[in-house]
Amino acid sequence: MLRRLSCCVLLLLPVFQLLAQSCTPPAEGQSGPNPADFWRQQRLFPRVRAAEATAGPAVASRLRTHYLDPRRLEIMFRLVKTRVELEVWARNRGGGPFELLHAYPLAATSGTLGPKRRAGDYQVPEGFYEIDRFNPNSNFLLSLGLNYPNAADLALGEPNPGGDIFIHGGAASVGCLPITDAGIEEVYLLAITARAAGQAVIPVHIFPFPITEVELARHATSPHLIFWRGLMPGYAHFEKQHEPAELMELAVK
C-alpha cells in the first residue's frame, strides 16, 4: 500500500510543478504596473543595447515572417534533451495556439537523461518551469533564469537541490542551457519583447526525450521511469494542442 501511495505521489508531482509555475508571480522589477517599462529598464544595460543592434534585425525578421506582433507577443521554451536544441514557440496574444518560431542548437550539454536532484550533479532539470530572472550582466553574456528548484523538485530532491539554472550564451554547461552568444542575444530580446507586451509567465518545458509509450518502453529499466510517466500528460497535451496544459486538465487524466 505504501509503495502504491509513493508511486501516486511521484505521478502527481509534475502536476504540482505546473501549479507552482502558474502561481509564481514575476520577480520584483521585471514587469511592474506597466510592463512596457521593462524595455526601457533593460536598455539601460550595454549588453542589451548591443544585442538589439546586432540581433534585433534578425529577431524582427523572424517575427514578421510568422506574422507576429511584438506588442502582442507571447513565447514559451521547450527542450527535448535528445534533440539538443532549445525550441522557441510563439504566438500573438489571443491569436490561437503556439507555433514553432525557431530552434537554437545547444552549444554544450552536461549530465545524463533524468531530472536534477542535487547541487553539483551536472544535471539539466526536467519538468515544467518558467523564466524568473533576466540577467543582462551574466558571466555568459546574457542569461534567463529558471525557477529551479520548484515545489516538485524540493519534494523529490536532496537537502541541497542546487539552483541557478540559466539559458545563457557561451558554450559551457554544468546543468544550464548554453545556446552561444548569438543565440542568447536573439532569445533574450524575444523574452524582453514578450515581457514588455504583458506576458508575466514565460513557460519552460524540459523533457529527456519525446514522452511517448514507445520511448518509455525503451527506458523501462530506468529509475526515472515513474517520474517521466508523470511528465507524459503535459508533453502529450502540448504535442496535440500546441498549448501548455492547464493544471486541471492534467489532474483528471
168 tagged catalytic: yes
Grid coordinates representing 146 are: 529558471
CA-based radius of gyration for the chain: 18
3-state secondary structure of 125: coil
Asked whether 128 and 17 are in contact (CB, 8 A), the reply is yes
- Count Cβ atoms below 10 Å from residue 120 Cβ, excluding itself: 9
Spatial separation of the C-alpha atoms in residues 108 and 243, rounded to whole Å: 28
Spatial separation of the C-alpha atoms in residues 216 and 211, rounded to whole Å: 7
Q: SS3 string of 56-75?
A: HHHHHHHHHHCCCCHHHEEE
Asked whether 77 and 124 are in contact (CB, 8 A), the reply is no
- Strand-pair partners of 134: 144
Grid coordinates representing 227 are: 517520474
**Quick one: which of 142, 144, 116 has its CA closest to 130?**
144
Q: Which of 102, 168, 205, 224 does the annotation list as catalytic?
A: 168
7 tagged catalytic: no
Q: Which of 8, 23, 66, 176 does the annotation list as catalytic?
A: 176
> What is the set of active-site residues?
168, 176
